Structure 1
């Protein structure tokens, strides 16, 4: 029996009846695709198209990178923010000790909150009302907003803000809120799309997010290696982010020209559209995935408690004082590059190992990571006035950071992949949205706790 042919005929017949179209396809994106596809070969093929040269897979990787470009590039540009918020009052030349201003010490914590809260709010809004706007419009629109915000951030690099640091801080926070809201819409949409493909494509999104952090860290380290000023370094740094976002916007538009992509968008992951759009019970989905939802909440809540609000304050061992490692490369290399490499390695290993599979073991391992919070707080984070420094040496801090980062990436991929395996095909998209939303809840709670932990040092 030619099942695909029956699907094609039914789809094309449905288009002739607008009311029938609404009954079969409740997603405006799919209505548009079906309408456009009736005169193309997508609805005439008898077997699933191939992802030639893995183009769609690599584009998903790019989208994963882009989804966290705002976070990775804004949080990694620590040297730039420290320069912008430095103490500009005249100093006694005999005073050699340089202390951080309040803005410098707490900027990362404020940045965490400014990204976590709007991220959570707009992920929830996307989950509840996203179906009212086509996926294509949501994702393209969000990428346009991210591009405009980053262009504004880039334009302010060469502007002298020393006399109006408070205003610059407010402008920066507002920009961060807007760009985070747009990114949340993009993440919610692209994860929902990835759930319609095989697990490798979800893995590409998740791994791409971590790879974006590595790219950001490497870009910063290279700019520092060329002894550029913080301003020139940031200008090149943010320009790279602009190029990546614009590339994703162009790529997403072209993605709809690929038969493999439109085939899966129309039919879902292995099933016809009408099957995937059976009535979805949110309560039933929550019953199936609540343990995974808790796990992802724990993973990112625990990570955000200390990274990067506390870890960005960690300094190299006093014996390295005055060296280029201490003054320039320690924070970019250890706090950003090593963390993101560890996180990426964890996600890659989880992609082919997928152990454990028992949801309770995964939840237990997620909670166990809380051990890393006091260990990182007892590293050489400065300034501090309450807690002692136990792990003073660089190698101790690096080992703790690697383990903390690897488990973050490993458990993230385990949860993202396994959570879609415990629900039916037509429930996978909503299940993925639940997991992403709980991830954001973890980020928000962790960011709030992180602000408290900085003051407890």
Structure 2
């Protein structure tokens, strides 16, 4: 429980989602005129990379859609036909979301319960090394012909994603604790890195497709770049261990006394912030039903006509880069709008949003399909649906988080613990819905 309370302190004190002024540690540091400087902004750079690596590895796998369609294609045909996907092509994304469930929940619980018993440095080194090794292995698989054992490779890929999920959850808890010990600007950089990870992945995927002469060449460039980012983060972390600036802040203890949260505290916090928790659950459920399990199946209305934009760049540009940009725009627009009186109405709006927008995504040109008709066949219709879907989701997610301090008041610590638990459980429980959504098509 000590580590749970430490995570609560981290979120309350130094993240962007808090509307209270940081005290104690920040005041002490601001008054210290002799604190060392961040030479060459190395720790600042590390904060950005730490934030990116909270999201980058898993989204890296999902964003490489063109490569996975090639690996799991119908090998009896000379070309990939996205209008007639194989079973492995069709269920790869939804299957990857499902296999992340158990390791995600299990590792998060272990990390927050027993993580405080282990030193921070080994936890970072082990998690980063594990992620890097898995990336190296799958980079090597690019040059291996897996056509005769596609099902085995499919299982190995999902197993690798499950292992990465566990390593990432360990890294997320540890990296957040590390960055929280530095001034608030470092946490801002950390969260900015989280938000930009998916945009970076999508942009890199587009560049790799533009530079590569074949699917394998593009994938090789893409995965090597990802491996290098992880490796450079690992090296930079080892280097900053010797910096006076890093040692100075890491040796300062958080001054807040840790409190034990009773059942009454948890119950009181829950009833205060239930609208925020409900909106987060609904957002994760709607995501499981649409993105990326369905959106990666959507093809351009002019697919197959020989145009590179329609055949090669449509999915990475529209389904990934454009959607993440819309989500970021929605986050920038968000405000702490949820109050005790408006909470039920906002939850009702989120339910209505899900009822309307989820089917709209299903009715876009996702292929193949056996049951539902394509009612929105045009690219502009799909893009309009994505704008409505992702701008609102980004807005709602940030608005829910920003509203917690005002709603929770003196119960803000336990409120953030409830938020973390809700996000983890909601993501895990709702992931099987992605398989159902693909089946419904």
Distance in structure 2 (CA, Å) of the matches to 1:229 and 1:114: 30
- Report if aligned partners of 2:278, 2:347 keep a CA contact under 8 Å in 1: yes
The TM-score with structure 1 as length reference comes to: 0.78
- Deviation for aligned residue 1:157: 0.8
* Residues 1:413 and 2:398 aligned together: yes
* Residues 1:76 and 2:81 aligned together: no
- Deviation for aligned residue 1:293: 3.3
- Report if aligned partners of 2:143, 2:216 keep a CA contact under 8 Å in 1: yes
SS in 1 for 2:73: coil
* Residues 1:345 and 2:315 aligned together: no
Query: Aligned pairs, how many?
Result: 408
Partner of 1:113: 98
Deviation per residue, 1:186-231 (Å, 9 max, x gap): 1223334556667665554443223111111111111212342111
Partner of residue 284 from structure 1, selected from 265, 270, 276:
265
Distance in structure 2 (CA, Å) of the matches to 1:334 and 1:174: 28
Deviation per residue, 1:386-437 (Å, 9 max, x gap): 1122211111111211222223333333344444666689974x75454333
Partner of 2:23: none
Partner of 2:435: 451
Structure 2 CA distance for partners of 1:135 and 1:70, relative to 1, 3 Å: same
SS in 1 for 2:252: helix
Residue segments in structure 1 that go unaligned for 5+ positions in a row: 1-22, 28-42
SS in 1 for 2:122: helix
- Deviation for aligned residue 1:116: 3.5
SS in 2 for 1:160: coil
Deviation per residue, 1:112-155 (Å, 9 max, x gap): 11223322221122222222223333233211111111111111
* Residues 1:244 and 2:229 aligned together: yes
Structure 2 CA distance for partners of 1:356 and 1:418, relative to 1, 3 Å: closer
* Residues 1:327 and 2:315 aligned together: no
Structure 2 CA distance for partners of 1:128 and 1:119, relative to 1, 3 Å: same
| The 10-residue stretch of structure 1 (156-165 or 400-409) with the greater mean CA deviation from structure 2 | 400-409
Partner of 2:215: 230
| The 10-residue stretch of structure 1 (418-427 or 173-182) with the greater mean CA deviation from structure 2 | 418-427
- Listed as ranges, the matches of 1:15-414 within 5 Å are 47=32, 49=35, 56-89=43-76, 99-193=84-178, 201-256=186-241, 257=243, 259=245, 262-263=248-249, 266-268=252-254, 272=255, 275-281=256-262, 284-285=265-266, 287-288=268-269, 290-291=273-274, 292-318=276-302, 321-350=305-334, 354-358=335-339, 360=343, 363-364=347-348, 366-370=350-354, 371-414=356-399
Distance in structure 1 (CA, Å) of the matches to 2:198 and 2:352: 24
Distance in structure 2 (CA, Å) of the matches to 1:416 and 1:261: 32
Distance in structure 1 (CA, Å) of the matches to 2:218 and 2:338: 44
- Deviation for aligned residue 1:337: 0.8
- Deviation for aligned residue 1:244: 1.5
Deviation per residue, 1:352-384 (Å, 9 max, x gap): xx3315372664554444132111011111111
Return the index of the structure with the highest Cα Rg: 1
- Report if aligned partners of 2:82, 2:299 keep a CA contact under 8 Å in 1: no
- Deviation for aligned residue 1:342: 1.3
Partner of 1:437: 421
- Report if aligned partners of 1:314, 1:382 keep a CA contact under 8 Å in 2: yes
- Deviation for aligned residue 1:98: 6.6
CA RMSD in angstroms, aligned pairs only: 3.5
